[in-house]
Amino acid sequence: MITAAVGLSHSPLIGKNDPAPDVLAAVDAAVDEARAFVRAFDPELVVLYAPDHYNGFFYKEMPPFCLATEANAVGDFGSAAGPLSVDTEAARAIARDVLDHGVDLTISARMTVDHGFVQPLEVLFGGIDRVPVVPVFVNGVATPLGPVSRIRALGTAIGEAAAELDRRVLFLGSGGLSHDPPVPVLDGAPPRVADALIEGHPPTPEQRLRGEQRVIQAGRDYAAGSTAMIPINPEWDNLVLDTLAGGRLEDVDGWSVEWMGAEGGGSAHEVRTWIAAFASLAATGKYRMTSRFYRAIPEWIAGFAVATATQEATR
């Protein structure tokens, strides 16, 4: 089995609130490189780690992570809606193996996903139905969050399980790095907001549009220097990337939830998807980061990074 990993930041503001042309061109070049990397690797299966933004998972029951054997996208922010091409058989096999390894995985037989899952599939593969995928939700917004060591354990167990499949597997992490978008918080929320976060009533089209407009406005404010949100933190983002590039994954076990939030903002916990993806790759052997791009892009509310990595032995 041959494995590879890609980490890719997402933002629903891409194309809606773009940075200066030179920044956009640099991002496009980095994403093109990742696309070429994926095309050359030609994965037979993609294990996709992504967060949710209160479109699929709610406080009525909020697992720390969850593997899907089927998944449907809601189509938020104009992203694709409908079924993902989930490899149900591979998903079930991986789930069984992960549970056997002692990681308490939640299973969804029909997961609802949002732009966190959809955007990397659209960007790298041109759609949500192009490649067999095993979607794995990793909670990155809904506190309380458990220790990062458990995310590394999840990634390791999934990597070991994927190694049994005898296929070319790409581990893909979606999100991060430092950013502080206006995602609602249950703690102290007014009753109507709390009820929505707990129950997950599907929003009306008008409610969805209003929520999306709020995020777009927040991007404009962030770019204009608003201090209402925790700023993008390039030093911390590069520490995260250095850790992954150096293969020092054990380091993340010492990263506290509080430290990550203080350094990187409320949605910095989305880097858990990167940690899971690189832990999966590490579980299949020594790896090497083959490309790495980073830029702070307040217009997108994103410490925006793209990185690719392969097993050392394959190159």
Ligand X SMILES: O=C(O)CCc1cccc(O)c1O
Does position 183 bind ligand X by CB under 6 A? Answer: yes
Give the Cβ contact number of residue 218 at 10 Å: 21
- The CB-of-7 to ligand X minimum distance in angstroms stands at 13
Tell me the C-alpha distance between 244 and 274, whole Å. 9
Task: Tell me the per-residue interface mask from 216 to 255 with ligand X, x by CB under 6 A, - otherwise.
Answer: ----------------------------------------
301 binds ligand X (CB under 6 A): yes
The residues in 38-67 that bind ligand X, with binding defined as CB under 6 A, are 53
Q: Indicate whether 267 belongs to the interface with ligand X (CB under 6 A).
A: yes
Q: Provide the CB-side half-sphere exposure for 310 (13 A, CA).
A: 15
Return d(Cα 175, Cα 118) in angstroms, integer. Answer: 11
DSSP 245-301: HTT-GGGGGG--HHHHHHHH-TTGGGHHHHHHHHHHHHHTS-EEEEEEEEEEEGGGT
Binding ligand X by CB under 6 A: which of 2, 5, 8, 11? Answer: 11
Radius of gyration for the alpha carbons in the chain, expressed in angstroms and rounded: 18
94 sits in which H/E element: helix 88-100
Number of shown-chain residues binding ligand X (CB under 6 A): 13
- Tell me the HSE value of 240 on the side-chain side, using a 13 A CA sphere: 33
Binding mask 90-129 for ligand X (x = CB under 6 A): ----------------------------------------
- Of the ranges 4-12, 120-128, 151-159, 190-198, which one interacts with ligand X (CB under 6 A)? 4-12
Q: Which residues are catalytic?
A: 115, 179
What are the residues binding ligand X (CB under 6 A)? 10-13, 53, 175, 179, 181, 183, 215, 267, 301-302
